[in-house]
Amino acid sequence: MESKIRSYLAHWTFYVPILAIAALVLSWGRDLPPPVVVIVALFLGASVLAAVHHAEVVAHKVGEPFGSLVLAIAVTIIEVALIVTLMISGGEKTQSLARDTVFAAVMITCNGILGLSLLVGALRRHVAVFNSEGTGGAFATVATISALSLVLPTFTTSRPGPQFSPAQLGFAAVASLLLYALFVTVQTRRHRDYFLPITTAGEVIKSEEHADPPSRRTTYVSLGLLMVALIAVVGLAKGVSPSVESAVDNAGLPHAVVGVVIALLVLLPETIAAVRAAARDRIQTSLNLALGSAMASIGLTIPAIAIAMIWLDGPLLLGLGGTQMVLLGLTVVVGTLTVVPGRANVLQGGVHLGLLAAFLFLAASP
């Protein structure tokens, strides 16, 4: 037992989160020269990879679909912390940061992670197979809370501009949170089988056969290191964010690109985990990660931002513009056609990745 623990502690994923926290302490609140920014970025990337590893250890212990929830909620904590931190110190330019980041998260998860997972799975088995009942319910929930939180503010008239009144924001926050809680209940209790991986013959895979689950002690260690790694990711991302904002401004790009960069950063752990699952022929796990992240991004971020607006100054711009609503509408239509059959090939994966490419291009060149 002791030799196993020593072997586990010798793994690089044990030391990286601790070293990243040390780097965070040394760099916090300081103007970082370019060489130091590069070093901080390296620690940031290593922390993301460590977070993926420890999340997968915990996920293997608790099993699906609980494992997907662990990483989805953890990543959303990063997102909320980054948005609130930047909004506190960012001034008027950050009034739309929550919208830009949440919308980018929806597009990246529902097109990028989903499309990449389907592509990897289809290349491996020719056809990627998943449970349409669970995936369809998850996608419907994502579409509903996206419309409630990001589309309706453009058309409401209580406040000028694409923003909710306090009462409307409170309703959207509560509705998003309740829908997310309802989904989690369905996913983990009443219809858990809908979210388990299935074979090409449609049979549910209720357990992983390739490895024994980790011990309770190992799981607790990984859970603690996951939290440490996530704290390091938030803090180090905050440290490099001024350099990102300066690079965006110097390149003449819209400030919305900052939200896209944040979303790409915080969703990197789930992207890696989803692709790994797809490569192991666990497409349902990949889709759980993708759609669960999109749902948590809205269902948890919007309520958190609504609470933060009690002490934050300035308006909160949530409503999408015309181009963004077209992209969201296309994503909903294409996504519906993808998930209803329960089977997808490389074409569906390529179409979703094409929508992601269009979003990224139009974000930089609106």
Q: What are the tens digits of pLDDT across the range 202-227?
A: 556 655 544 567 777 888 888 888 88
Q: Is the pLDDT of residue 33 over 60?
A: yes
| Ranges of H-type helices in the chain | 2-9, 12-27, 34-62, 66-90, 97-107, 114-125, 132-146, 152-155, 166-185, 216-250, 256-266, 268-279, 283-299, 301-308, 322-339, 346-364
Tens digit of pLDDT for each residue in 302-311? 888 888 877 7
Q: How many CB atoms lie within 10 A of CB 229?
A: 30
Task: Compute how many other C-beta atoms are within 10 angstroms of the C-beta atom of residue 158.
Answer: 11
Distance between CA atoms of 55 and 272, rounded to whole angstroms? 11
Please give the Cα distance from 203 to 190 (Å, whole number).
19
pLDDT exceeds 80 at position 164: yes
Q: Are 106 and 326 in contact (CB under 8 A)?
A: no
Which of 25-29, 69-73, 183-187, 336-340 shows the lowest mean pLDDT across its residues? Answer: 69-73
Q: What are phi and psi of 198, to 5 degrees?
A: -125, 160
pLDDT digits 0-9 by tens, 347-365: 999 999 999 999 999 998 8
Q: What percent of the chain has pLDDT over 90?
A: 20
Give 9-57 as a 3 state SS string.
Answer: HCCHHHHHHHHHHHHHHHHCCCCCCHHHHHHHHHHHHHHHHHHHHHHHH
pLDDT above 90 for 324: yes
Distance CA 241, CA 101 (A): 14
**Residue 1 banded pLDDT, cuts 50, 70, 90:** very low
**Confidence check: pLDDT of 180 > 80:** yes
Q: Hey, what domains does the chain have and what are their CATH numbers? A: 2-364 (1.20.1420.30)
pLDDT of 79 > 60? The answer is yes
Q: What is the arithmetic mean of pLDDT over 84-90?
A: 67
Average pLDDT for residues 110-124, to the nearest whole number?
91
Cβ neighbour number for residue 156 with a 10 Å cutoff: 16
pLDDT greater than 90 at residue 113 = yes
Q: Cα–Cα distance between 245 and 40 in angstroms, integer?
A: 16
Q: What percent of the chain has pLDDT over 70?
A: 87
Q: Which of the given ranges, 13-22, 67-76, 148-157, has the highest pLDDT on average?
A: 148-157
Q: Which pLDDT belongs to residue 212? A: 66
Residue 288 reports pLDDT greater than 90: no
Residue 264 has pLDDT above 60, yes or no: yes
Q: Is the pLDDT of residue 4 over 70?
A: no
Quickly state the pLDDT bin for 52 (edges 50, 70, 90). confident
Q: What is the mean pLDDT of the chain?
A: 81
Identify the pLDDT of residue 88. 67
The answer for 199, left when phi > 0, alpha when psi is -120 to 50, beta otherwise, is beta
pLDDT for residue 269 is more than 60? yes
- Split at pLDDT 50, 70, 90, the class of 44 is confident
Q: What is the pTM of this model?
A: 0.81
Contacts of 158 (CB under 8 A, 6+ apart): 164, 165, 167, 168
Least confident among 23-37, 74-88, 159-173, 269-283: 74-88
Q: Which DSSP state fits 152?
A: H
